[in-house]
Structure 1
Amino acid sequence: MASEVRHIFFEEHELIRALMKYSLIKRTPIEFKQIKSVIINNTGTVSATMMVKKVSNELPVKIDYTTAELAAALVLFCTDTGIILPRRASKILNVDEDLLHMTLIVKDKREYGDAKIERLIKKYSRGGGVKV
């Protein structure tokens, strides 16, 4: 069974853009100038915390994003920016060296019978070898 593994790394500005769009959809819009920092948490599960300061005299407010919310924001970001995510791929969030990335794993679950394999070999073979 063939498998494909892809890693999509997100820079901090991309993560901020993804969380801003997600917050807009959740009807809690955040402006870029209000964001003071984004912290990626990797304690067992991956999550994020955004520090937002809406009023200049107050302390920043902490907004936490669960793994599911973070994944939804990143999938939305990928859709908006044209990054193709196979629907049937397993999507896993990881953090390596303070870089957030999404791992996509696609497993080919198709099974071919002997007759189908023989036809494929005949179709793609030349001189006894299989064309790759």
Structure 2
Amino acid sequence: MPTCLIVDDSSVVRKVARRILEDLDYTVDEAEDGQEAMDKCRLAMPDAILLDWNMPIMSGLEFLKLLRSYIGGETPRIIYCTVENDIGAIAQALKSGADDYMMKPFDRQVLERKFDVGTLKAA
């Protein structure tokens, strides 16, 4: 069963995403910010990460850069989730190591498409 870490400071987003991903047979864990997510990744690297852009303590972009430089941090499929529609910000996330992105608010169909188990690098 693939694993996914949901990293978002919104408990509502985490709850909605968790429900959908568990329906897709993911084992799900959650983090409220990039620092907590990094701590969890050091303990057990997930197969996939749903990553928010704006968070306290450590932003999504800071987490992304740090994770990708960490041994084993190149393996998770990272979907950047943002309300930002600035193409420059999206390009920056992709350049920094995100595999894909999606806009908030998202629905079940979009999340299912992004987290299709067949697209995982390390499933």
TM range (shorter): under 0.3
Q: Greater helix percent: which structure?
A: 2
| TM-score between both structures, scaled by the size of structure 2 | 0.23
Q: Greater strand percent: which structure?
A: 1
| TM-score between both structures, scaled by the size of structure 1 | 0.22
